[in-house]
Each structure stands twice: as C-alpha cells, then as structure tokens.
Amino acid sequence: MFIQTEDTPNPATLKFLPGREVMATGVADFTSEEAAERSPLAQILFGVGGVKGVFLGSDFITVTKIDERSWQTLKPMVLGAIMDHYTSGHPVMGTAEDVAREDEEFNDGISPEIVSQIKELIDTRVRPAVAQDGGDIIYKGFKEGTVYLHMRGSCAGCPSSTATLKMGIENMLRHYVPEVLQVEAIN
C-alpha cells in the first residue's frame, strides 16, 4: 500500500491519500479521542501522540496535530497507523449509523428557493475546492442576510480560512444570491 501526502493551507494539518475509498458516503469529523469511538481508523490515529483532529473524506484523511509536535516526527507514525488500519481489515466506521450526520439547519423565514440556491452553490463550487485541501464546509443556516457555515478538517483553524470565507465564498454568494449580505463561520 502506498499512501501519498499533501500539504494543506493549514500548517497544523496534513492530507493523507491511501489510494482507496475512505468514506463511501458522507464525511466524518473527529475533534477529540472520545468522539473517535465511532471509527476504528480515527481511534488508531488518536493513539498516535500529538494528533488532535481527524477528518475522513471520500478518498482522503486529514490529520491535525498539536502545535508542540512537528510533522517531521509525526508523519511517519501517522502513515504507519493508517497502514496498520487498512491491513487489519477493520472498517473505517463502526456501523452505518456511525456515519456523520449534519446538525439541524436554521432558516428563519427564508424561502426554500433561496436556501436551495445557496446550498447548490456551496455543494458544487465550494466543497469540491476545499476537499482538495483536505477540508469541508457545511451549510448551517441563513438569517437576516448572513449565511452561516461550519468549517471542518483542514479548514477548521486554518489561518487562511477567513480570507476564503470573505474573499471567495462571500463574494460568490453575494454575486449569485442578492439576499446574501455576508458569510460567517460557526463551530
């Protein structure tokens, strides 16, 4: 098995490409060892000292490290953990119910057509681009002209995420959907 790695715009994250499917449907984001109980793969990665976040995409794994560790020492251990997981034959997620579900959305008095248009733009133009960098952006709601998005994977905590939100996503949404005035990230 050959696992490729890619840098991301977030210096605390690295994208690992195992050359096979990671998640058949959806994505999974684990920000603590306790949350990783649903995923044997995430559990083994949190077992590597210095890992503070694991994001599972369709064909990639994004790992976020603590500031005190360097990728030079951590990367070989993460590669070994991923290799061990795939050679063990264990599933990535425990059961079908363990696949990440999105929280409820809020759309105060907004027409379903506007919400649908915003979601389509995010799904077709934004999410594929940020997935290339090892992250994901999820629509959470629209209220009083503000679109609320949840940033995950390498996007969470990334120094360039504010610029991505304001200069990229906000400008695009304002162009196509006049009702959008601004975009904000929520946790």
Q: Which of 68, 38, 69, 70 is nearest to 54 (CA)?
A: 38
Distance CA 165, CA 47 (A): 33
Distances (CA, A) of 24 to 7, 36, 40, 91, 181: 24, 18, 15, 11, 35
Distances (CA, A) of 5 to 51, 55, 115, 116, 162: 16, 14, 36, 35, 25
Q: Residue 43 pLDDT more than 80?
A: yes
| Phi, psi (degrees; rounded to nearest 5) at 56 | -110, 120
Homologous superfamily assigned to 106-186: Fe-S cluster assembly (FSCA) (3.30.300.130)
DSSP state of 179: T
For 60-117, what is each residue's pLDDT tens digit?
Answer: 999 999 999 999 999 999 999 999 999 998 999 986 554 444 456 777 777 889 989 9
Q: Cα dihedral sign for 56, 62, 67, 69? A: positive
For residue 6, the one-letter residue type is: E
> Euclidean distance between the first and final Cα of the chain, in Å?
35
Distance CA 93, CA 101 (A): 13
Alpha helices in 37-151 (DSSP H): 40-46, 71-88, 112-121, 127-132
Fold of 4-98: Ribosomal Protein S8; Chain: A, domain 1 (3.30.1370)
Whether 106-186 and 4-98 are alike in CATH topology: the answer is no
At residue 100, the pLDDT reads: 42
Query: Mean pLDDT, to the nearest integer, of 17-37?
Result: 90
Domain ranges of the chain: 4-98, 106-186
Q: Residue 6 pLDDT more than 50?
A: yes
At residue 26, the pLDDT reads: 83
